[in-house]
Amino acid sequence: MAIIKHMLGEKVISGFRGVIDFYYYMGIPCARRWPRSPGKKRTPASMAWWAPFAYASSEWNNLSEEVRRTYEELASDTGLSARDMFTRAYMTGLFRNPIP
């Protein structure tokens, strides 16, 4: 990441599309190398998280409205959405069953 003095014009930014990514971070204009996909190369540890993440993502749709509202309350003022809070709780084992 590089901090720049001021954001460039749209025409200049468009000229660097695919090479440099211009963005604001906390109101500060920045630039970085254009993000690239790692392609098909994935670590075994990364691939091990796919199944639990897919399960957590699909289970959000099965939650009752009351439980979703509770997650919305938990997520307020955290910077996370209710769905993100639920997924994080599932993936990290934040809430175990039964809760002591």
Nearest CA-CA partner of 68 in 85, 53, 51 = 85
Question: Taking the model in full, what pTM does it have?
Answer: 0.55
* Cα 61 to Cα 72: distance, rounded to the nearest angstrom: 14
Q: What is the pLDDT of residues 22-63, one digit of tens each?
A: 999 999 999 998 888 877 788 898 889 899 899 999 999 999
Residue 63 confidence (pLDDT): 93
Residues in Cβ contact with 31 at an 8 Å cutoff, skipping those fewer than 6 apart: 1, 2, 4, 20, 21, 22, 23
Residue 95's pLDDT band, with cuts at 50, 70 and 90, is low
Residues in Cβ contact with 92 at an 8 Å cutoff, skipping those fewer than 6 apart: none
Cβ atoms of residues 20 and 8 within 8 Å: no
* Cα 57 to Cα 4: distance, rounded to the nearest angstrom: 37
Average pLDDT over residues 70-90: 91
Confidence check: pLDDT of 78 > 70: yes
Residue 8's pLDDT band, with cuts at 50, 70 and 90, is confident
